[in-house]
A = this chain, B = another copy of it.
Amino acid sequence: MIGQSGIAVKHVSRADAASVAELAKHGVATIHEAMGRVGLLHSYMRPIYPGAAACGTAVTIFAHPGDNWMLHVAAEMLKPGDVAVLGTSSENTDGMFGDLLATSFRARGAVGLVIDAGCRDTGELRDMGFPVWSRAVHAKGTVKATVGSVNTPIICAGVLVHPGDVVVADDDGVVIVPKQHAAKAAAAAAASATKEAGTRRRLAAGELGLDVYGMREALAKAGLKYVEDETALQQELQK
């Protein structure tokens, strides 16, 4: 059951490397759209420094408020290219992760952390270039008293994450791509990016989205009425 404590899974399947590599070329917004607008973490998850970016496979962590013990357990499970993803049993902003754990995670090959709690040592992490997305920055230290789980399905910031899923994160936030859909999502993102490039050129040249996307008829049908100026508007608003 989601949220069950006391289990650490040693070996998990991960999304295929080719899909991860393709997804790494695209932004969170593009991937989220390409997947049908699903998989986004809540908007309160923010990078600890501008320009942070990561793409990798999830090692999942379930932890209790104010207790970062499971991050140490997770370190052993990390493989090169992984992104750790932590959900908690209740809302908490304590700084569960800092530069010592980041040093350990990097030594294991991890490329980032997504944590639905607080992060600290953010100056050092920025200097190290170790990207973290968190709900808060807080120096508050934690205990190591209660076990959670590692590599079990978790909810992180409103999204279900399985170990091995693809995690893509940038300035816009974080999106999760389920591992069984990674290839399809990567292909869709690539197609979308190609299409967007064409659209971007047309818009840059001054064409309107109304025409590029052919929206004028639908707008009229939906009831949009154009009036000439503010005088005409006054007449409308008084109706």
Q: A-side interface residues toward B, CB under 8 Å?
A: 1-13, 27-29, 32-33, 35-40, 42-43, 46, 49-51, 53, 64-67, 69, 72-73, 75-76, 89-95, 98-101, 103-104, 106-108, 118, 120-124, 126, 136-141, 143-147, 151-152, 155, 158-160, 163, 170-173, 175, 178, 180-181, 196, 199-200, 203-210, 213, 215, 218-219, 222-230, 232-233, 236-238
Name the residue on B nearest A6 (C-beta): B223
Most chain B CB within a 10 A radius of its CB, from A104, A143, A178, A196: A104
Contact sample, A vs B, 28 pairs, CB 8 Å cutoff: A2-B160, A3-B37, A4-B36, A5-B37, A7-B225, A8-B227, A9-B226, A10-B228, A12-B229, A27-B139, A28-B120, A32-B140, A33-B141, A40-B139, A42-B91, A66-B90, A72-B209, A75-B209, A76-B210, A95-B172, A100-B209, A103-B204, A104-B207, A137-B171, A137-B173, A145-B145, A151-B233, A158-B158
Closest-by-CB residue of B relative to A66 is: B65
- The distance from the CB of A32 to the nearest CB of chain B, in whole angstroms, is 5
Complex: how many Å from CA A73 to CA B226? 10
The answer to whether B104 touches A209 (Cβ under 8 A) is yes
Partner of A1, one of B35, B93, B143: B35
For A43, the chain B residues whose CB sits under 8 A away are 91, 93, 118, 136-138, 140
Contact yes or no, B51 A50, CB < 8 A: no
6 shortest interchain CB distances as A-B pairs: A3-B38, A43-B138, A145-B145, A104-B203, A65-B66, A72-B209
CA distance A18 to B139 in the complex (A): 24
Output the least CB separation between A190 and chain B (Å). Answer: 17
| Chain B residue contacts of A210, Cβ below 8 A | 72-73, 75-76
Work out how many copies of this chain go into the complex. 6
A107 and B69: CB pair below 8 A? no
List the B residue with the shortest CB-CB distance to A106.
Answer: B204
* Minimum CB–CB distance for A202 against chain B, Å: 9
Q: A38-B2, A145-B145, A145-B146 are in contact. Are A173 and B139 (CB under 8 A)?
A: yes
Are A9 and B209 also in contact (CB < 8 A) when A1-B178, A141-B37 are? Answer: no
From B39, B147, B159, B172, contact of A122 by CB (8 A): B172
Q: For residue A226, which residues in chain B have a CB less than 8 angstroms away from its CB? A: 7-10
